[in-house]
């Protein structure tokens, strides 16, 4: 079963998460979401797998969030569209294996996901 990581190579936690996956021997598909943002459908599915609301995976300390979205109310669809327009807002790393997903913060959550799927 392929394991997908939504990855930002400039992020130490994301690099650590990728390391965990590679060391585990997982068949890893790396999604460089900053260069190829997920589609609306992909983000919608990710949120369902994470059992999360859009704001749960939005990096609210990012400058773009502070400038454009802080203190504003948006619908689920509008938040997802914001993450597509500004993928830097997406928390990282997000790892998907089968019908389960985690935000790898802390990276130990990735180990838990892998052990749950063995």
Interval 10-59: pLDDT, tens? 999 999 999 999 999 999 999 999 999 999 999 999 999 999 999 999 99
Q: What is the pLDDT of residue 102?
A: 98
Q: Pick the catalytic residue: 6, 9, 11, 113?
A: 11
Active site residue 11: yes
Residue 80 belongs to what H/E stretch?
A: helix 76-85
Q: Enumerate the β-bridge partners of residue 27.
A: 2
Q: Using an 8 Å Cβ cutoff, are 93 and 104 in contact?
A: yes
Q: Which pLDDT belongs to residue 117?
A: 67
Q: What would the DSSP string read from start to end of 7-53? A: E-TT-HHHHHHHHHHHHHT-EEEEEETTTSPPPHHHHHHHHHHHT--
pLDDT band at residue 87 under the 50/70/90 scheme: very high
Note whether 14 and 92 are within 8 A (CB). Answer: yes
Contact 113, 98 (CB under 8 A): no
Task: Count other Cβ atoms within 10 Å, centred on residue 30.
Answer: 16
Which strands form 2-7's sheet, in the order they lie side by side?
27-32, 2-7, 94-97, 100-103
């Amino acid at each position: 079963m392929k394991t997908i990581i939504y990855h930002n190579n400039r992020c130490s936690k994301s690099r650590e998460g990728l390391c965990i996956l590679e060391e585990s021997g997982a068949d890893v598909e790396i999604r460089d979401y900053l260069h190829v943002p997920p589609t609306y459908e992909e983000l919608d599915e990710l949120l369902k797998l994470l059992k999360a609301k859009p704001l749960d995976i939005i990096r609210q300390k990012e400058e773009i969030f502070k400038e454009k979205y802080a203190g504003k109310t948006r619908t689920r669809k509008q938040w997802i569209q914001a993450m597509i327009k500004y993928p830097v807002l997406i928390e990282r790393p997000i790892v998907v294996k089968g019908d389960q997903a985690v935000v790898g913060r802390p990276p130990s959550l990735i180990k838990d996901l892998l052990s749950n799927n063995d």
